[in-house]
A and B are shown apart, each in its own frame.
Chain A
Amino acid sequence: MDHFNLIPQLARARHPVSQISWGVVVSGIIIALESLLWNCFASTPYVLMPLGIIITSFFGGGLWAGFTATLILSFYGLTFPGPGHWVSPLIFFVTGVLGTVLVDLAQTKIRELAGKEIRAEEAERLKFAAAAANIGIWEWDILNDHMSWDDQMLTFYGIDRTSFTGHVDSWQKGLHPEDSAYSNQILEEALSGKTNFELEFRVANPGGQIRLIKANGYVMRDEQGKPIKMFGLNRDITEERENLKKIEELKAYFEAALVQSPAGVVIGDAPTGLLRFVNPAALQIAGGDEDTLVKDVDIDRYARWRIADIDGVPIANEDLPLAQAIRSGRSTSMNLIFIRPTGEKRVVFSQTAPVRRTDGSIISGVTVFVDTTEQQKLMEELNTAREVAESAMRAKAKFLDIAAHELRTPVTAASLLTQLTQRQLEKGAGLDKSVLQRIRVQLDRLSRLVVDLLEVSKLDRGVLELRYEPTDLRTLVSDCSSTFQIQFPERKIIFNSSNGAIELMIDPIRIYEVVSNLIDNAIKYSPEGSPIELELETGPESVRFLVRDHGPGLTEEGQRKLFSAFERGTNNEQTSGLGLGLFICRGIIALHDGTIGVHSAPGKGSTFYFDLPKKKELKKTGS
Chain B
Amino acid sequence: MNIHKPQKTLLVIEDEADILFSLKTYLESEGYHVVTAGNGKEGLTFLNMNPMPALVLLDMKMPVMNGWEFSNEYRKQFPLRAPLVVMTAAADAEARAREAQANGWLGKPFSLEEINNQLQKFLGTQ
Whether the Cβ atoms of B90 and A413 lie closer than 8 Å is no
Given contacts A409-B16, A420-B25, contact A415 B109 (CB under 8 A): yes
Is B112 engaged at the interface, CB distance under 8 Å to the other chain?
yes
Query: Which of B21, B26, B29, B109 has most A Cβ within 10 Å?
Result: B109
Chain A contact surface mostly: helix
Residues of B within 8 Å of A409, CB to CB, are 16, 19, 89, 108
A401 within 8 A of B: yes
Between A and B, 23 residue pairs with Cβ closer than 8 Å are A404-B90, A404-B91, A407-B89, A408-B89, A408-B108, A411-B108, A411-B109, A412-B110, A413-B18, A415-B111, A416-B18, A416-B22, A416-B26, A416-B112, A417-B18, A420-B22, A420-B25, A423-B26, A423-B29, A423-B112, A438-B18, A573-B63, A574-B64
Q: Which residue of A409, A416, A438, A573 has the most chain B CB atoms within 10 A of its CB atom?
A: A416
Q: Would you call B108 and A401 a contact (CB within 8 A)?
A: no
B33 contacts A by Cβ under 8 Å: no
Closest to B29 in A: A423
B16 touches A413 (CB 8 A): yes
A419 (CB) vs chain B CBs: closest residue: B112
Question: Any chain B CB within 8 A of the CB of A405?
Answer: yes
Inter-chain contact A442/B18, CB cutoff 8 Å = yes
Indicate with 1 or 0, residue by residue over B2-41, a CB within 8 angstroms of chain A CB atoms. 0000000000000010110111011001000000000000
Bound Cα distance from A41 to B111, whole angstroms: 177
CB distance from B107 to the nearest CB of A (A): 8
- Out of B25, B26, B89, B90, name the residue touching A412 (CB < 8 Å): B89
Question: Which residues from B are CB-within-8-Å of A400?
Answer: 91
Report the minimum CB–CB distance from A422 to chain B (whole Å): 9
Residue-wise interface mask of A (431-447) relative to B, using a CB-CB cutoff of 8 A (1 in contact, 0 not): 00000001001100000
A408 nearest in chain B by CB position: B89
Determine the distance from Cα of A420 to Cα of B18 in the docked complex, in whole angstroms: 11
Interface size on B, residues (CB 8 A): 20
Given contacts A405-B89, A409-B16, 15 further A-B contacts (CB under 8 A): A400-B91, A401-B90, A404-B90, A405-B61, A412-B109, A416-B23, A416-B112, A417-B18, A420-B26, A420-B112, A423-B29, A438-B18, A441-B18, A442-B18, A574-B63
Report yes or no: B21 in contact with A438, Cβ–Cβ below 8 A. yes
Q: Nearest B residue to A405 by beta-carbon distance?
A: B89
Contact B109 A408, beta carbon cutoff 8 Å: yes
Question: In residues 108-123 of chain B, which contact A (Cβ within 8 Å)?
Answer: 108-112
Q: CA of A203 to CA of B90 in the docked complex: distance in angstroms?
A: 96
Output the least CB separation between B21 and chain A (Å).
7
Per-position 1/0 for A309-349, Cβ under 8 A of B: 00000000000000000000000000000000000000000
Q: How far is the CB of A28 from chain B (nearest CB, A)?
A: 142
A422 to B, closest residue via Cβ: B112
Q: Give the CA-CA distance A407 to B112 in the complex, in Å.
A: 19
Q: What's the minimum C-beta distance from A414 to chain B, rounded to whole angstroms?
A: 8
For window 65-92 of B, CB contacts with A under 8 Å fall at 89-91
Distance between Cα atoms of A423 and B109 in the complex (Å): 18
Give residues 559-605 of A contacting B (CB, 8 Å): 573-574
